[in-house]
């Protein structure tokens, strides 16, 4: 019998965008004031109640980096347990439909060749997303 109490860790559901442009992929660096400062991630955010993952991603990309995106194919969801919370990421491959990127929350961004993605210090939850993207794309955007 398991005498451990049920986990009280918060479980958040988050979308993220693997934005492709001219053979490169966008990576965003978390700012110093964000949780997990200076780690790299794919932009996105928390899914609000009653919101689909696609609706969330469109809203978050507009809020975070000022673009309207075409939401493409989804990749497998990935769950990661941090010490204080659990996160499930819902990744989508996207392209920019309209707008120029403006950083509202992040410290920096890079457009990298897919083969360069592994060189960044990714947030732990994003690492399986990078791996899934690389394996489904054969390393090319």
Domain regions of the chain by residue span: 10-136
- Classify 10-136 by CATH class: alpha beta
CB 76 within 8 A of CB 18: no
What pLDDT is stored for residue 1 in this prediction? 45
The model's pTM is 0.88
Q: What are the Cα distances from residue 45, in Å, to 16, 33, 39, 62, 73?
A: 7, 16, 15, 11, 18
Provide the terminal-to-terminal Cα distance of the chain, rounded to the nearest Å.
Answer: 49
Per-residue pLDDT in tens (0 to 9) along the chain, 141 residues = 444 455 578 999 999 999 999 999 999 999 888 888 899 999 999 999 999 999 999 999 999 999 999 999 999 999 999 999 999 999 999 999 999 999 888 999 999 999 999 999 999 999 999 999 998 865 555
């Amino acid at each position: 019998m398991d005498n451990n109490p049920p986990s009280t860790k918060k479980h958040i559901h988050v979308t993220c965008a693997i934005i492709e442009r001219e053979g490169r992929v966008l990576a965003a660096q978390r700012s110093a004031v964000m949780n997990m400062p200076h780690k790299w991630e794919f932009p996105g955010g928390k899914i609000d109640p009653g919101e689909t993952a696609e609706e969330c991603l469109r809203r978050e990309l507009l809020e975070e980096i000022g673009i309207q995106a075409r939401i493409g194919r989804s990749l497998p969801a990935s769950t990661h347990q941090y010490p204080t919370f659990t996160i499930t990421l819902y990744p989508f491959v996207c392209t920019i439909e309209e707008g120029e990127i403006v950083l509202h929350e992040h410290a920096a961004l890079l457009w990298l060749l897919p083969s360069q993605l592994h060189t960044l210090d990714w947030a732990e939850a994003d690492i399986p997303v990078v791996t899934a993207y690389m394996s489904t794309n054969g390393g090319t955007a």
